[in-house]
Amino acid sequence: MPHSARRRILLATASVTGLALAAPAWAGLLRTPPQALGPFYPRQLPLDNDNDLVSVAGQNGIARGEICNLHGRILDESGQPLAAARVEIWQCNAFGRYHHPGDRGERPLDPNFQGYGRFTTGSDGGYRFRTIKPVAYPGRAPHIHFAITADGQAPLVTQMYVAGAAENAGDGLLQSVRDPLLQAALIVAFEATPGGGELLARFDIVLGAAGQGGG
């Protein structure tokens, strides 16, 4: 099998399964493709900005929507975990509205949904959030925004999408990623856990070294 074909098979497996593979010397992991920041990154971070988005300090309720444990690892192109990486996420609530003054839609707010969270990875490069399965709103497929910064690596802003969502095919940002392997790297399965508890999703993210071109 030609070298290039073997490399694409390895990278396709890593992208589609969401698992970070230990790559041999001749291969590297595909960098996670960048996506637009969007207009709803918080202008001011909420006072409660931990990694549990479904429970807000001072509120007694739980966010509406399907609760999900979202986790993954931040890696460099050689597959090495990146410690002390800052991972930020933000998304709309279960009604399709962002907790942001620029979202003036008529969809309701959810006082029990934080809307934004952040986490700093440990030595294994791992991160974890408790949030809701993203929902669609007019013009966009369900997605979660990510921003990652790590020493020695180019900062990355990207978006994660839901496997099987009907809106994926018509989402301009997702479809702007023409390479099928790169597009697959942004699409994640949300799976039920035994006993019908909270959903589980894994999204591994690969950063390029600082000074390299974009993904």
Mean pLDDT of the chain: 87
Domain ranges across the chain: 3-207
The total number of residues written for the chain in this structure = 215
Contact at 8 Å (CB) between 177 and 122? no
Other CB atoms closer than 10 Å to residue 163's CB: what's the count?
14
Kindly report the CATH class assigned to 3-207.
mainly beta
DSSP H helical ranges for 97-179: 172-175
pLDDT, tens digit (0-9, with 9 covering 90-100), for 162-171: 999 999 999 9
pLDDT, tens digit (0-9, with 9 covering 90-100), for 128-139: 999 999 999 999
Q: Write the single-letter amino acid at 197.
A: G
C-alpha 100/C-alpha 121 separation (Å) is 26
pLDDT, tens digit (0-9, with 9 covering 90-100), for 67-94: 999 999 999 999 999 999 999 999 999 9
Contact at 8 Å (CB) between 215 and 34? yes
